[in-house]
Amino acid sequence: MKKNNLAKFMIFALIVSIFSCDADDQAEVLNDRDTAGALVVVNATTNSSILGNPEPGVDLADAEVSITNAYLNMTVKLTSGSLADIANVQIVKSYNGGQESVAAESTTLPLSLVIDNIDDLLAGTGVTESDLRIGGVLALRTKITQTDGNVYYYNNSMGNYNLIVNCSSDLAGNYSNPNMPFVCGVGTDPVVVTQESPGRYLVSSMPTYSFGAGNCISWYMIDTCGTLTYDGGDLEDNNYSGAGGTGIVNADGSFTFTNFLIDAGSGLNYSIETTYTPVP
């Protein structure tokens, strides 16, 4: 199986860096307390989401969305370092990379932000509910101004949270699937699907394939209005590359997904389509 150690190193490097507002300035390393000062983490509640129903009979890319849920509850916390050289901390928002607006600010951490309606979520971004489309992204970014006037944004892995416009999704639960490895869900042991955030799920095992006895391969999928896409998991966490897949949610509440893995050892390619049926 192919491994991508370079990619893992680059991801690690991103996790410990922030980017200056000046495009000509290179990333500052947060461990350098003289230039960055603080490491932060963003947490959001699982019900933080923008959900709605797309206009029927229109391609998703063009369909207006009637919002049914708009809620955000997030907190920026200091994990290490000091705010001694930081004059101001802001949570800024923008939709699809557009106009930026300040959603909250403070001179101390933690900094919490709770918004419970779509108008306030979009305020200052230059867009309204009628502009929203499925897959659009309202990005919440942590921005700091240092006492010397320098301004920085934390990177996506550390200081940011995205609200993705999506349809309502309810796939969490237990499923049967006859193609699970014996140690991962055959017989009385169900396949467990857990909601990690609105529309994003963790599936407890890949079908037919495992790391060995007792070592199931869990993976993530995203449900976008009934269309499912692979979103990483244990394979990537263990340096494997070439995994992916797509699927659909069926009318009876089951879902069908095709997992694949390029070069699954000895030059073989792994690919299987299988259906997950809800366990009553």
Does an H or E element contain 159, and which? helix 156-159
More confident residue, 8 or 147: 147
Q: What pTM, to 2 d.p., does this model score?
A: 0.73
pLDDT recorded at residue 8: 31
pLDDT tens-digit series, residues 57-73: 999 899 999 999 999 99
Lowest-confidence range among 118-132, 145-159, 193-207?
145-159
CB 220, CB 203: distance < 8 Å:
yes
Q: What torsion do the CA atoms of 230, 235, 237, 242 make, to the nearest 10 degrees?
A: -70
| Residues in a beta bridge with 94 | 139
Are the CB atoms for 121 and 72 separated by under 8 Å? Answer: yes
Q: Is the dihedral of CA 170, 172, 177, 181 positive or negative?
A: positive
Which tens digits make up the pLDDT trace of 1-20? 433 333 332 232 333 333 33
